[in-house]
Structure 1
Amino acid sequence: MSYFRYKSAYCAGLIIPFWLFVGVMIAGLLYPDYSQTNQAMSELGAQGAPTHVLSPLMNNYPLGCLFIIFGIAVSKSFRESKLAVFTGLLISIHGIASFSTGYFSCDVGCSLENPSTSQTIHNYSGLVMFASLFLASAAWGYLGRRLLQSSPFSVFSIVCSLAALVTLPLMGKALEAGHYFGLFQRINYGASVVWIAGLALLMLKRSRHMQT
């Protein structure tokens, strides 16, 4: 395994949740009366939003690059496992979908009624973002023990996958109720990006071990 060759790329995965947190917080502060608890992250880049231009430049595009870089590193580090290579591809696909959700913004307020073509593409891109990281983390529930000899990471991967899955219906109910959608969305996506950081951290530790 070529762990030591991709240390910078592993670091890209490690900083993803921190970048996301800071980026969303700053964009939210620049959006008057924006609610991190009730509003979707997509509303930060929606048509007519005060942060319409800034949000994708601060969040979607740089995060997309980080995901792609890390995904390529995962695929190259585990060439002996087709499933692991596929998870790297899924992570990179997530990065591409992040670009898409930033470029194709949702309508004002991200209303689901009569969405424009841009919002329709945005919504499908968001679905790809969820599915890609969910499948990747679920796969590492098996691969963590097999490739990294880490049962704790396998359990961690399964827990993060379940957290992302369980919050989906909660997001739906919150959307209907008009409250706490933002909270459940952040838990949903947060579980996935924390998993990315966990994988990156474990691979960084392995890279140091390979060098000693």
Structure 2
Amino acid sequence: MSEAVKRWCYFAGLLAPIWLVVGVTFTGMFYPDYSHYSQAMSELGARGAPTQLLSPLINNYPLAVLFTLFGFGLMKTFPKSMLARVSGALVIVHGFGSMLAGFFSCDRGCDLVSPSIEQNLHNLAGFIMFLSLLLANLLWVFLAKRQLGVKWFVWFSLAVSLFVIALLPLMASAVESGEGFGLYQRLNYGAQALWVFVLAGLMLRASNFNQAKSR
């Protein structure tokens, strides 16, 4: 893979978190009385929701492409590091999960009491998305200094992982209370997306530096 193509893959990683924020915000504008504080992002694409068809087209499917491109770029950048290639594969799995989560809608309100088969598949896709990106994140606790020579990214990756895990009990509590789940979910996924953004920026910077040295 040429350096130019790799840079496009890194740029996809930079764009994905921005796309996520803009896409969810934009889609929410077409859902009357939608609450980003209390409601899950999945409710934007829920069956019967006013944005059921719009949400996956704006959010899930484009994000699936962006994450897949970035993961592919990671795999091609570190052909001699098995862990780095695994991290890239996990990012690709995350993109695949995003596509599945958009294809299989949750029920109206994403009710967990008696979910349909389609919602169970949606929930499975969401779990795959969460776990794959968390594992990719954790791998860079061990990879950052060795592959990029950036010690602070080790601690950043660890901090993001711990923050994401720490939010899980709060998310579970919010499901029971019916208050604040949307906020905690956005903080959870937002932290993971920020990690992708920072890694993509580091990769792009390293690529530009190497290109400048070769001239």
The change in CA–CA distance for 1:143 and 1:3 in structure 2 (over 3 A counts) is farther
How big is the alpha-carbon RMSD for the aligned residues of Structure 1 and Structure 2? 1.2
Amino acid at match of 1:145: K
Classify the secondary structure of the residue corresponding to 2:42. helix
Amino acid at match of 1:113: V
In structure 1, distance between residues paired with 2:11 and 2:76: 15
After TM superposition, give the deviation of residue 123 of structure 1 in Å.
0.3
Q: Give 5+ residue unaligned stretches, structure 2.
A: none
Task: List per-residue Cα deviations over 1:185-207 (Å, max 9, x = no partner).
Answer: 00000011100011000000000
After TM superposition, give the deviation of residue 4 of structure 1 in Å.
5.4
After TM superposition, give the deviation of residue 142 of structure 1 in Å.
1.1
The change in CA–CA distance for 1:125 and 1:49 in structure 2 (over 3 A counts) is same
Amino acid at match of 1:157: S
What is the number of residues matched between the two proteins?
Answer: 212
Q: TM-score, normalised by structure 1?
A: 0.98
After TM superposition, give the deviation of residue 100 of structure 1 in Å.
0.3
Alignment of 1:51-62 (within 5 A): 51-62=51-62
Q: Give 5+ residue unaligned stretches, structure 1.
A: none
Q: TM-score, normalised by structure 2?
A: 0.96
In structure 1, distance between residues paired with 2:207 and 2:141: 21
Is contact 1:100–1:122 with CA below 8 Å preserved after alignment? yes
Is contact 1:94–1:133 with CA below 8 Å preserved after alignment? yes
Task: List per-residue Cα deviations over 1:129-180 (Å, max 9, x = no partner).
Answer: 0000000001101100111010111111111111111111110001111100
Match of 2:162 in 1: 162
After TM superposition, give the deviation of residue 80 of structure 1 in Å.
0.9
In structure 2, distance between residues paired with 1:179 and 1:100: 27
Amino acid at match of 1:210: N
Classify the secondary structure of the residue corresponding to 1:88. helix
Amino acid at match of 1:81: S
In structure 2, distance between residues paired with 1:143 and 1:185: 27
Amino acid at match of 1:183: L
Is contact 1:144–1:150 with CA below 8 Å preserved after alignment? yes
Match of 2:70 in 1: 70
Percent identity between matched residues is 50
In structure 2, distance between residues paired with 1:132 and 1:197: 16
